[in-house]
Amino acid sequence: MISQQEILNASILIVDDQQSNIALLEEILSNAGYSCVTSTSDPLAVCALHQKNNYSLILLDLQMPVMDGFQVMEALKKIEPDGYLPVLVITAQPNHKLRALASGAKDFVAKPFDLIEVQTRIHNMLEVRLLYKNLEQLNKTLENYNQVLQQTVLERTAELRENEARLRRMTELSSDWHWEQDENGKFTEISGPVLEMIGIKIDEAQGELMEDQGALWNEHERRILNENIAARRPFLDFVYTRTNPDGSKKYLMVSGEPMFDALGRYVGYRGVGKDVSDAMKPLS
């Protein structure tokens, strides 16, 4: 909301080639409590004055020599930064009212002046103008905030990706292998001595696991692991066993988590694995 004091403190410029009209409007405004009122009888000076002071309201006479009010408004359009002409025209010609509004004026008062009408129109126009300025300032503030927010998001995203890459690298170093699967279960990335430790190979055409038929897996453990993946649940340090063709056992510990994109859509799984056979051997 705009307070009454803000309205009374608004900057106003009176433009009229008749000093008597200027004096009358100054008296009306002074009696109403307006404290920041200036005037000029030179229409050629209006643009420079407005550029310097950015008036909240310009009371503009239409009938002036050298440069009339319509020409002043055309000149103001070229310098008004937000395209809003804070002009209330003063005219004694009723047929000029529509033309003035079409030229960019926001309101008008007729000569001879009606005191109540002049005060009401000035008050209302100032209130609208100040609300417009506040909204414009709010939009600029929001725009600046959004720019700062976007930059912050970009910086934080870069930091997160860097941290994620660092953490992933450390995880890989502490594991024997790692892998990634897409949403259909096909392997998109895999590294480490997987073939030697797990006894599998990858179908290069399909990206799928091909099990070594000579190895025997613990079906109960494999079922639990597959259920976790099917349900898109993360799992940590899950140990399952494989019996090699020579009868020896291999113990494998895996951890995995589902992956989601920025929209929350499931895009696959990723995880790490390690051969923990030595750690699982009974002490002799």
The average pLDDT across 250-264 equals: 86
Long-range contacts of 69-75 (CB under 8 A, 24+ apart): 69/15, 69/43, 69/100, 70/99, 70/100, 70/103, 71/43, 72/15, 72/43, 72/46, 72/47, 73/100, 73/103, 73/104, 73/105, 74/103, 75/46, 75/47
Q: For residue 224, what are the β-bridge partners?
A: none
Cβ atoms of 209 and 177 closer than 8 Å: no
Cβ atoms of 151 and 22 closer than 8 Å: no
Task: Provide the pLDDT for residue 9.
Answer: 94
Confidence (pTM):
0.52
Instruction: Identify which has the larger pLDDT, 226 or 182.
Output: 182
Task: Provide the pLDDT for residue 74.
Answer: 93
Mean pLDDT of the chain: 83
For helices 19-32 and 115-173, what crossing angle results, to 10°?
Answer: 70
Mind listing the pLDDT tens digit for each residue in 162-173? 776 665 665 555
Instruction: Identify which has the larger pLDDT, 250 or 28.
Output: 28
At residue 213 the predicted structure's pLDDT band, cuts being 50, 70 and 90, is low
The average pLDDT across 242-247 equals: 79
Mind listing the pLDDT tens digit for each residue in 109-152? 888 888 999 999 999 999 988 888 888 777 777 888 888 888 88
Domains and CATH numbers, the chain: 4-140 (3.40.50.2300), 175-280 (3.30.450.20)
